[in-house]
Amino acid sequence: MDAGLVILILKIAVGAVTVLWIASLVALALGKTRLHGRINLAFFALTLAALIGLEVIANIISPGLFDEFLQARDAKNMLRIHLCFSMPAAALLFVMLFTGLKHHRRFHIATGVLFSVLWIGTFVTGIFFLPHE
C-alpha cells in the first residue's frame, strides 16, 4: 500500500463529492429541496465511506503509513491544517443530516453556512496542499 496513492484517491473522492455538494446547492437555489436532500444523502454516504476507508487503512491495515511519507515531504503541518477543516466538517455532516431530515430549517441553514466554510477549507487544503507523488 502506497501512501501517495491513497492520498491521490482521497483527492479524487474529495473532488467528486464537491461536485455533489455544488449540485446540491444548485438544486436548493432552484427550489428543489427534495433533490437537495437526496443529493446530500449521497454526499453524506460517500464521505462517510471515504472516512471509514481511510481510517481502516491508516489505523488497521497499515498503521504509520502516512508518517514517513509526509515527513519526507515536510507536509505534516499541512496535514494538521487540513484536519482543522476536515474533522469539524465531518462532525457537522451528522448534525446537518439530522437537522435536514427533521426539517429544523434555521439550525440546518446556520450549520450549512459553517459547513460550507469548512468544506471549502477541506477542499483547498486537501487538493492543493497535501502531496501525493
Cα distance between residue 11 and residue 81, in whole Å: 16
Q: Are the C-beta atoms of residues 130 and 78 closer than 8 Å to each other?
A: yes
Cα distance between residue 125 and residue 77, in whole Å: 11
Closest by Cα among 114, 76, 72 to 93: 114
Q: Please identify every stretch of the chain with a pLDDT value under 50, giving residue numbers as ranges.
A: none
Helices and strands: H and E segment counts in the chain: 5, 0
Q: Looking at this protein, which amino acid is placed at residue 51?
A: L
Cα distance between residue 46 and residue 128, in whole Å: 21
Residue 132 is predicted with a pLDDT of: 86
Residue 133 is predicted with a pLDDT of: 81
pLDDT in tens, 6-42: 999 999 999 999 999 999 999 999 999 999 999 999 9
Q: Looking at this protein, which amino acid is placed at residue 36?
A: H
Domain ranges within the chain, ordered by starting residue: 3-129
User: Which residues lie closer than 8 Å to 114 by C-beta, 6 or more apart?
Assistant: 92
Element (H, E) at 46: helix 33-56
Cell numbers for 89: 466538517
Cα distance between residue 122 and residue 118, in whole Å: 6
